Structure 1
Amino acid sequence: MLSAFWFGTAFHWLVLLLILMPANVETFVGSASKGTYLGALVAIGAVMALVLPPLVGAQSDRTGRRLPYLRLGVGVNLVGLAVMGFAAMTLSGMTGFWVYVLGFLLVQFGNNYATAPYSALIPQLVPPEQRGRYSGVMAMLQAAGQLLGAVAAFVVGLLKLPVVVSFVLIAVVLLLPALVTMRGIPEATGTAPIRAGGRTLSVTELFAHQAFLWVFVTRVLFALGQYSVQPFLQYYNRDVLGQRDAGTSTSIMLACIIVGSILSALVGGRISDRVGRKPVIYVAGSTMAVAALLLLVAPGYEAALALAVLFGLGFGAFTSVDWALGSDAMPSASSYARDMGIWHVAFVAPQMSSAPQGALLDWGNARGGNLGYTLVFGIAAVFFMLGVLLVRRVPDRAQRTQLAH
């Protein structure tokens, strides 16, 4: 019940960010500046994701409620999808692009409005000794949502269905699991009130807490690695791998990544409950870095698909401990939503790097030899390895400190 919303959100962002937005942006602005405009669009949305979750989370902590924020956020998210779909279907040129931007801002507002209060339910409801296992469950459902998204995008592309079909699918698959969560989690029935515990830390005190600081920093680095590559994967399929139907080939590649992540997600979470979170992250980050570098020299599409499975194995292992590591690092139960909102910033703020990365991609490719892809994929590998190195600073078990009132 708790993880259902994460399933819908995973489907939502995979299809929107990796399939629809790259294709729609190129239609609006042309191929010469596609990387720059796509990177700018992702970065503009990241500003909303940077500011909103901590503010909404703090309000949720004050009111002691989670679900009203989830309901309103999902509603605004659906309105934003409708605006984006309208722009993609009926408008063209820069006029269409700016209406599309407006819709994307609404999507970001709604989704992030819901995220911080929702995220607080995890440390609130799941005992520390079970967080690795259930972080793995969340990772499994996230991967399943992404796999369904990749399959849906492949089918839509294969059947040459109009773009409105994809936007309707995103809306439906977001809404139905959200309803499952809103109707099924204990807070909805009043059986699990928010547990008090500890005073609310200032933001400065929160980052002075070593476990939270280093979990935040390492999550930023892993997200920077992800967003150095993820938004441009469709362009890589066409420009480097020579795939004419880049949307379909990207869907297949994403499916390979997701299959790999499913294989490692639940195993990684259970292992982390026994040996700690850090050993799992060491293996996961190193695997993703190696796969990112090898993609630059993949001799063909089939080899790239094999590397996508390898990357997925690392990504699934990382996501299997991500929620557990973040939940373990929360120092005070009285501010779960605000603190999880700040922790969420570590994942969304790096989306802003897509703007300079997109410009770097276009600059490098203009000089020939697919130099742009070499630069952004190489930068991704560096970020992953920095995350591996610095996660050593996180305590072996980031126990929550119960602070005196």
Structure 2
Amino acid sequence: MSRPAAPEALAEPTERAGRGWTASLSLANGAIWVGWYGPLQILLALQAAELAPPGTAKESVLAWVTGAGAAVSMVANPLFGALSDRTASRFGRRAPWVLAGVLGGAAALVLLAGAGTVPAMALGWCLVQLTLNAAFAAITAAVPDRVPQRQRGAVGGWVGAAQILGVVAGTGLATVAGGVVAGYLACAGFVVLGALPYVLAHRDPALPAARRPALTWRAVLAGFWISPRRHPDLGWAWLTRFLINLGNALALLYLLYYLRDVLHRPDPDGGVLVLTAVNAVTLLGTVVVGGLWSDRVGRRQPFVLGTGVIMTAATGLLAGWQTWPGALCAAALLGVGFGVFTSVDFALMTEVLPAAAHRGKDMGLINIANALPQVAAPALAAPIVQHLGGYRALYCVAAAVGLLGALLVRRIRGVA
């Protein structure tokens, strides 16, 4: 008796994704990042300064609000990924969650614009993280749903480029809109308009109800643990991503203080802007090229290992060549390394997923390896700078952590 064919939603894709689909997916991805980074870069800080109670530092308010949002993000991403895996709508598994997420995110940004107290601000930001992570989890899972392995490096590159541009666009909208309220409204409008072409113009593969996994909280929560013993490639790939992202976060966390206290730059704020621009230019210049190159040669590991070495060298420059030209070179190298890593590692991650039925949840768990370093880096960096050798020691530790992550990619057996 022959085995029935897998439904399209659970099949391994074989046809190349079209340019229109890739463009709309990238635009939607960038729009979600506008909704995150307009607030994170500009608006939340301004709002914290306005709403901080007397005697409470605005920095403490901002840290508390963003920390609460980060905690929501790490739970929401795999949770909504799991729910999208189980969605048997005629509109597909992912599209309903993308639409609901961006509409909810826009509404949450509007609510955040009207926050008059710190608790209301925290609630609004947590709702932004909850809803936009629902959309992000679904749209990330669409790549292994729709893109064959031989094309995932290129698509990952375009998605990575869109995310970087989303950060820039969100910062720009928040800056030029004309105030906190107008900034939030501008970001909310961009989130919706940027996601609509993907939702409206492309058919999302539907999951037949008969093939839907069990939709119970016990089944959903049980799936949050993926045994590294049963799926070692996924475990090593997750650890590689976590360590390289942690090394990058450690390198960038105290950049302003490094310029002010170590290099004694007269305008450290402007220096950070220059270094950020250099980093962004080299990152954008390599993120798509690296993914295309990886697809062409059919290999991922050498690229991840090579970019880890490049980023280690860049961080080593901050430790050993403590001058302004050294910082410029480090920023450029970090951009080159992280650009290629962003696209190639994304493709690698999609190739170690255990099962098509759980792509959304599994990609959500993988995304924790991006978010968790942002929480861990401050806890590690502060004692190193204050008690264990200062900035030279910090950048040596960052280099070692990133290099370890790159070397561990060699433990992956199922992806070349």
For normalisation by structure 2, the TM-score amounts to 0.76
Task: Summarize the Cα distance change of 1:26–1:384 in structure 2 as closer, same or farther, 3 Å threshold.
Answer: farther
Larger Rg: 2
2-structure distance, mates of 1:248, 1:299: 16
Q: CA deviation at 1:341?
A: 1.6
| 1:2-401 correspondence to structure 2 within 5 Å | 2-21=25-44, 28=52, 40-64=64-88, 65-86=93-114, 96=118, 98-149=119-170, 156=175, 161-187=178-204, 192-194=205-207, 202=223, 207=228, 208-230=230-252, 232-234=254-256, 236=258, 249-273=271-295, 274-296=297-319, 297-300=321-324, 303-354=326-377, 356-357=379-380, 360=383, 364=386, 373-374=391-392, 376-395=394-413, 397=415
* 1:193 aligned partner, one-letter code: A
How far apart, in 2, do the equivalents of 1:171 and 1:309 lie? 32
**Letter of the structure 2 residue corresponding to residue 63 of structure 1:** T
The alignment yields a C-alpha RMSD, in angstroms, of 3.7
* Offset at residue 328 of structure 1 (A): 0.6
Give the helix-richer structure, 1 or 2: 1
User: CA 1:197–1:181 in 2, change beyond 3 Å: closer, same or farther?
Assistant: same
How far residue 236 of structure 1 moved from its aligned partner, in angstroms, is 4.9
CA distance in 1 between partners of 2:180 and 2:393 (Å): 32
For the residues of structure 1 that align with 2:170 and 2:80, how far apart are their CA atoms?
28
Q: By how many angstroms is 1:257 displaced?
A: 1.2
**Do the aligned residues in 1 keep the contact of 2:244 with 2:402 (CA within 8 Å)?**
yes
C-alpha distance after superposition, 1:339-383 (max 9, x if no partner): 11222222223332155247548x72xx8xx97655554443232
- Larger relative CO (CA 8 A, sep 6+): 1 or 2? 1
CA offsets per residue over residues 90-125 of structure 1, 9 Å max, x none? Answer: x6xxx54x4433232122111212222222111000
Task: Work out the CA distance in 2 between the residues paired with 1:329 and 1:74.
Answer: 28
User: Which SS does the other structure have where 2:323 is aligned?
Assistant: coil
* CA distance in 2: counterparts of 1:29 and 1:360, whole angstroms: 29
Q: Aligned in 2, Cα 1:197/1:126: closer, same or farther, shift over 3 Å?
A: farther
Change (3 A) 1:108 1:232: farther
Secondary structure, aligned partner of 1:3: helix
Equivalent residues of 1:14, 1:150 under 8 A apart: yes
- How far apart in 2 are the matches of 1:58 and 1:7? 22
Deviations 1:227-282 (A, max 9, x none): 33545545555555656776655444322211111111112112222151111111
